[in-house]
A and B are shown apart, each in its own frame.
Chain A
Amino acid sequence: KAGVTQTPRYLIKTRGQQVTLSCSPISGHRSVSWYQQTPGQGLQFLFEYFSETQRNKGNFPGRFSGRQFSNSRSEMNVSTLELGDSALYLCASRLPTAGVDNEQFFGPGTRLTVL
């Protein structure tokens, strides 16, 4: 079974621009979560999508948004980029049970650098 894939792997943008990141989950996984990882804050939950609907949301500003398509692929968008948005963005998929207790399968991440 193929793992979680994320594209692109690396991205350089300038302040004020917007960016779209893509995630393809493991086949059969309908839940996709996005995380931001920085050295200072660690791994922080952005949001989770299930069956094309945002099911849960972390504590990030509205500049961060996402969506999920009918094939479970997900995209994450960050508008009006700030220097502090430089981070590793990870997506994770899992089997869609009610809780988050089943293991999450992470992709390799997209390294975003904002100049």
Chain B
Amino acid sequence: SQKIEQNSEALNIQEGKTATLTCNYTNYSPAYLQWYRQDPGRGPVFLLLIRENEKEKRKERLKVTFDTTLKQSLFHITASQPADSATYLCALPNQAGTALIFGKGTTLSVSS
């Protein structure tokens, strides 16, 4: 079955720096990958989807890459702000394409 690893549970950075979060997966190669943000006591919020034929996708200060050879996605937040502090989850479809499998998330803390 598919396994997802978000390689750090917590990441602490200073305001203004670029945060880079990693999502690694094993077994089959998914057709796409999604990133979500979750704040304490709330449900996840969709941020970006990247497909296997897209190397990179951007949305405002967010950038996602998808390397199907390395089986890895990188999620970047440039010019980070304290308001970016949250848990970020990557998700990809199971092999049948019938459900999303989520990583356990990386908790980002941005200090001013």
- B76 interface residue (CB < 8 Å to A): no
Point out the residues of chain A lying under 8 angstroms from B89, CB to CB.
42-43
With A56-B99, A100-B99, A101-B32 already in contact, the answer to whether A42 and B45 are too (CB < 8 A) is no
- A64 interface residue (CB < 8 Å to B): no
With A42-B105, A43-B89 already in contact, the answer to whether A103 and B46 are too (CB < 8 A) is yes
Point out the residues of chain A lying under 8 angstroms from B93, CB to CB.
99-101
Point out the residues of chain A lying under 8 angstroms from B97, CB to CB.
99-100
CB-nearest residue of chain A relative to B44? A106
Point out the residues of chain B lying under 8 angstroms from A45, CB to CB.
99-101
- A48 interface residue (CB < 8 Å to B): yes
Map CB proximity to A onto B9-52 as digits: 1 under 8 Å, 0 otherwise.
Answer: 00000000000000000000001101000000111111001000
Point out the residues of chain B lying under 8 angstroms from A56, CB to CB.
98-99
The 8 Å CB contact of A90, one of B34, B43, B101, is: B43
Point out the residues of chain B lying under 8 angstroms from A92, CB to CB.
43
Point out the residues of chain A lying under 8 angstroms from B101, CB to CB.
45
Chain A positions near chain B (C-beta within 8 angstroms)? 4, 33, 35, 41-45, 48, 55-56, 58, 90, 92, 99-101, 103-109
Chain B positions near chain A (C-beta within 8 angstroms)? 31-32, 34, 41-46, 49, 89, 91, 93, 97-105
Query: Can you list 11 A-B contacts (CB < 8 A)?
Result: A4-B43, A41-B104, A42-B102, A43-B91, A90-B44, A92-B43, A100-B93, A101-B31, A103-B34, A103-B49, A104-B44
